[in-house]
Amino acid sequence: MGLRKPANCNLSKNNIYGILLYIAPEILRGKNYTKAADIYSFGIIMYEIISGLPPYYDTNHNENLVIKICQGLRPRFNINVPQLIVQLIKRCLDANQLNRPATKEIINILRKWQYKESDSETAELQKQIKETEKINNNSRVQIMSSTSLGISYKPHSGAIYTSRLLSFNNLPESKNSDDYYEKNDNIISKEFSDLYNLGFLN
């Protein structure tokens, strides 16, 4: 997540060493590490655990991807996910680090969900879980793959999931996609992702 490097590697304080996909956009732009940057990394990990897919597995992990991330690109879910969970992940992945939840808030939310405390939000989450499980189970019957998790994917030849030196210049200001908080059913809208994939947004 941007903290690991070889023991014999001497880097200046401005160098970034880590796995590109887990590093917050502001860090990629050369800002100092903060607790909010760790929250961004946590959001990506939540996405990966729920989806069963590495982030951005189907694209080249190069400077073009970094630019797109700074401009608001985020990974998309391949399954239906309860909206309350999507909303929490989106807050963690917000381009504005001041909008990301603090660690204590995340702990309180997850603890409440874990122990199914009796309030309207937890009841709504349980309802959403049942609805999404029904949709996902029906989908898996049709597209079940040969893997144990029912997930099959082929990573892009340029996808790199090992820690490395990352150095980028003149990256754009970090921002959310224009419809980031208008879409509740996924982290990022399909339309916005498609525009990036087709190269219409640079």
Distance CA 19, CA 3 (A): 9
What are 164-186's pLDDT values in tens digits? 888 888 999 999 998 898 888 89
Tell me whether residue 116 is in a domain. Answer: no
Its pTM stands at: 0.85
Distance CA 84, CA 167 (A): 35
Q: Which CATH number fits the domain that encloses residue 28?
A: 1.10.510.10
Q: In angstroms, how far is CA 76 from the centroid of its own chain? A: 8
Tell me whether residue 59 is in a domain. Answer: yes
Q: Say how many domains are in the chain.
A: 1
Tell me whether residue 36 is in a domain. Answer: yes
What are 138-165's pLDDT values in tens digits? 875 444 443 444 567 788 999 998 888 8
Residues of the chain with pLDDT under 70: 1-14, 140-151, 198-202
